[in-house]
Amino acid sequence: MKYFKIEEFACECCGVADMDQSLLWHLDYAREVSEVPFSINSGYRCEKHNKEVGSKPTSSHVTGNAVDIATPDSRTRFKVVMSLMAAGFNRIGIADTFVHVDNDKTKPHEVTWVY
């Protein structure tokens, strides 16, 4: 990866970073396209940590197929979302302070949602 270190995706609880390699490759490309830094809020989550943060047991973070990217303002959020779409992602969740993206093949594609 050009823009990331695997440690950025590690679970806060146990330090595991069992991330899907295709997701990381596409994320690296999206970072290049965006021309803004990506700060990873959440990558891989073990089941214990996932439960602690109140996420669903079916969260794509548990399988290493999702990341949350910090977006401190609307311009950054726009650049992040546009670059993720340019990189081929089609599952994107948008919140005030972060953008969720995943490549979970078990869930519907061509969707966006808001938190």
Please report the pLDDT score of residue 97 as a whole number: 97
CATH number of the domain to which 34 belongs: 3.30.1380.10
Residue 1 placed within a domain: no
Q: Is the dihedral of CA 7, 11, 15, 17 positive or negative?
A: negative
Enclosing domain of residue 41: 6-114
- Provide the pLDDT for residue 111: 98
Instruction: Give the amino acid at 20.
Output: D
pLDDT digits (tens, 9 = 90+) for 7-47: 999 999 999 999 999 999 999 999 999 999 999 999 999 99
Query: Whole-structure pTM over 0.75, yes or no?
Result: yes
pLDDT of 59 reads 98
Q: What is the rounded distance in angstroms from the CA atom of residue 38 to the CA atom of residue 35?
A: 9
Q: What is the pLDDT of residues 54-105, one digit of tens each?
A: 999 999 999 999 999 999 999 999 999 999 999 999 999 999 999 999 999 9
Domains of the chain: total: 1
